[in-house]
Amino acid sequence: MSKFTDHNFKGQKALIRVDFNVPLDTSFHITDDTRMKATIPTIKKILADGGSVILMSHLGRPKDGPADKYSLKHLLNHLIKLLDGATVKFAADCIGEEAYNDAKALQPGEVLLLENLRFYKEEEKGDTAFAEKLSKLGDVYVNDAFGTAHRAHASTAVIAQFFPGDKKMFGLVMEGEVASAEKVMHKSEKPFTAIIGGAKVSDKILIIENLLERATDIIIGGGMAYTFMKAQGGSIGNSLCEDDRLDTAKELLKKAEEKGVCIHLPSDSVIADKFAADANVSSAPSGEIPEGWMGLDIGMNACIQFTNCIKRSKTILWNGPMGVFEMEKFQHGTKEIATAVAAATEAGAFSLVGGGDSVAAVNQFGFADKVSYVSTGGGALLEYFEGKVLPGIAAINE
């Protein structure tokens, strides 16, 4: 995996697949640049070697070809700032004569940002001819887009076949992501605690099943906890519940018991009379929530229960919040978990935070630099932990 660091890019044009799919507000200002920031060390290493860089990415989900709101030109000024004023040019297309001429004219130390790949339907279809056209822009191919590694798209997987062995490699983001995920899944020190939150059990069945083979403790919070509560015969009021997954929840609890894995469900909850920031708030045992009320965060006792478990862990995986942390009244649980993960990390544990909402939470509460690794990949990380082969990784390794 150290191919990138060892490679000298002097005089070479590096075609990098980055994940610049960042959120923009209505004035096209970037509201979270985590993904862009992550790939800057990869770009800077190539420029420092005396190479030039051609960046390709998608942005959003354009349905019918080019659309201004999905143009990567909106990221140009911020990218120049992140690269300390380096020369960054913009190509109004990602293939075709203009893009080729722009790439050809690129000088060492310069960067070219290509227009949105998804303006072409061929990108998501994994079209070989489209991938070949892209490949003609650079001398070497670097995949640094972990967030799209689970997609077999033209620029993330298919393109690799046009670059011989030593001309295709992972960038620093991909190296870091894969090394961290490997450490958690295959080289974890025990006790290993997985914190799984979010709304739905159905989204997390495979990851929980895979973790039952590896973790010593699994903490379940967020909306999905109430499906488990109801499966055990609890009353959950109007809390979120997947009634068609009650048997699945029972099965997972049974499997955990058989394997000696301790599943921790929140003993109590912060409850509300409606799903709103101005709701009336109370607390109740998680299996005794009155009708008309819903659990929107873990309660005080659950915070203590979960914190104690996290603090004695040597490996921690955190995927999904404990409650509706976007609303101030229901963010205490997620904040307490973030504090506990940071404390355990400081005491020597290895902690990996992944999945959009957990990453947003550690950023919001200022804990991003207090954990071992913050993943840039939501779906990709989930699929990796589900034990699936990621096309973007397989294409480089082949």
**pLDDT digits over 278-299, tens only?**
999 999 999 999 999 999 999 9
Q: Does the annotation count 176 as an active-site position?
A: no
Q: Does the annotation count 35 as an active-site position?
A: yes
* Catalytic annotation, pick one of 60, 109, 234, 379: 379
280 secondary structure, DSSP code: -
CB 107 within 8 A of CB 86: no
| Lateral strand order in the sheet of 268-272 | 281-285, 268-272, 294-298
Average pLDDT on 76-80 reads 97
Asked if residue 390 belongs to a domain, the reply is no
Same domain, 296 and 150: no
Query: What does the pLDDT read at residue 2?
Result: 55
pLDDT-based confidence at 1, cuts 50/70/90?
very low
Range of the domain at 297: 179-385
Asked if residue 82 belongs to a domain, the reply is yes
| Chain segment 216-244, per-residue pLDDT in tens | 999 999 999 999 999 999 999 999 999 99
- Measure the CA–CA gap between 55 and 16, rounded to whole angstroms: 5
Asked if residue 391 belongs to a domain, the reply is no
- Measure the CA–CA gap between 59 and 72, rounded to whole angstroms: 7
Answer with the one of 137, 170, 203 that is the final residue of a domain. 170
Same domain, 291 and 370: yes
Same domain, 138 and 202: no
Asked if residue 395 belongs to a domain, the reply is no
| Lateral strand order in the sheet of 350-353 | 262-264, 217-220, 192-196, 315-319, 350-353, 373-374
Which positions ≥6 away from 192 have C-beta within 8 Å?
Answer: 184, 214, 215, 216, 217, 313, 314, 315, 316, 317
Per the structure, the count of domains in the chain is 2
Answer with the one of 152, 170, 188 that is the final residue of a domain. 170
Q: Is pLDDT of 167 > 90?
A: yes
Same domain, 216 and 100: no
Same domain, 134 and 46: yes
Structure tokens at 320: 């999904």
* Catalytic annotation, pick one of 176, 197, 356, 392: 356
- Measure the CA–CA gap between 43 and 21, rounded to whole angstroms: 17
Answer with the one of 136, 170, 204 that is the final residue of a domain. 170
Structure tokens at 43: 């770009």
pLDDT mean across residues, the chain = 94
* Catalytic annotation, pick one of 35, 133, 204, 335: 35
Same domain, 262 and 143: no
Q: Is pLDDT of 337 > 80?
A: yes
| Chain segment 86-114, per-residue pLDDT in tens | 999 999 999 999 999 999 999 999 999 99
Q: Is pLDDT of 369 > 70?
A: yes
Q: Is pLDDT of 378 > 80?
A: no
The H-or-E segment that residue 112 falls in is: strand 111-114
Same domain, 242 and 335: yes
Asked if residue 81 belongs to a domain, the reply is yes
Same domain, 250 and 211: yes
Antiparallel, parallel or unpaired: β 268-272 and 281-285: antiparallel
* Catalytic annotation, pick one of 73, 183, 200, 314: 200
Same domain, 308 and 208: yes
Q: Does the annotation count 356 as an active-site position?
A: yes
Asked if residue 398 belongs to a domain, the reply is no
Q: Which residue has the tokens 């058989």?
A: 258
Same domain, 60 and 140: yes
Asked if residue 392 belongs to a domain, the reply is no
Same domain, 132 and 238: no
CATH code: domain of residue 33 = 3.40.50.1260
Q: Does the annotation count 379 as an active-site position?
A: yes
Q: What is the percent of the chain where pLDDT is above 90?
A: 81
Same domain, 219 and 365: yes
Q: Is pLDDT of 184 > 80?
A: yes
Asked if residue 308 belongs to a domain, the reply is yes
pTM of the model: 0.85
Query: What does the pLDDT read at residue 183?
Result: 92
